[in-house]
Amino acid sequence: MQIDVMLCDHAQVAGDKLFISGGGIDRFHVEGPGPFQVGFAVAGTAAVRPGEAAGNHLLAFRLTDAQGQPAQFAGDAEGGVVSGELQLTGSGTLTPGVQMISFAFVFPTVPLARPGSYAVICTLDGAELRRLLFEVEHA
């Protein structure tokens, strides 16, 4: 299975099509003493071959700091986790060829405790596929 994924301002799936606005984010500019509110979406496609469609596959995302530790949140979100999951379930009876599955996870308000380097870690069935890196900087 091949996964293509990016950070963007907004994303949604409608009619099996992926709609993206403001794709390719790698930094956020924030003001004030904090908490530092950032909003983003994780969007992409999964190319599923017929032999991979049987059974369940878990596509998951989690937000960490640059050292791979859970991101530190501010206020009521302290100790919270920003993550998303997509359960791909198939019967293995797909027609020959590759089936494209579009996905979008929207995180409209993430209250980070501090500026710095972060990563959205993308995994498939527990194996890391990609790290989407971004910086949160004072404006």
**Residue 67's pLDDT is what?**
86
**Residue 87's pLDDT is what?**
67
User: Under a CB-based contact definition with an 8 Å cutoff, are residues 108 and 82 in contact?
Assistant: no
Spans of all domains in the chain: 2-138
From 12, 4, 1, 11, select the one nearest 130 (Cα to Cα): 4
- Beta partners for residue 104, in sequence order: 43
With a pLDDT cut of 70, the percent of the chain lying above it is: 82
Write down the pTM of the prediction: 0.82
pLDDT digits (tens, 9 = 90+) for 37-89: 999 999 999 888 777 766 677 888 888 888 888 888 876 555 555 666 666 65
Res 90 pLDDT > 60: no
Mean pLDDT of the chain: 83
Pick 2-138's CATH classification: 3.80.30.20, 2.60.40.1930, 1.10.287.180, 3.40.140.10.
2.60.40.1930
Q: Which amino acid is at 65?
A: D
Q: Which amino acid is at 117?
A: S
* C-alpha to C-alpha distance for 134 and 42, rounded to whole angstroms: 12
- pLDDT category at 97 given cuts 50, 70, 90 is confident
**Residue 135's pLDDT is what?**
96
**Residue 2's pLDDT is what?**
84
* C-alpha to C-alpha distance for 20 and 14, rounded to whole angstroms: 11
* C-alpha to C-alpha distance for 2 and 47, rounded to whole angstroms: 5
- pLDDT category at 126 given cuts 50, 70, 90 is confident
Q: Measured at the alpha carbon of residue 94, what is the angle toward residues 13 and 100, in degrees to the nearest 5?
A: 30
pLDDT digits (tens, 9 = 90+) for 24-37: 999 999 998 878 99
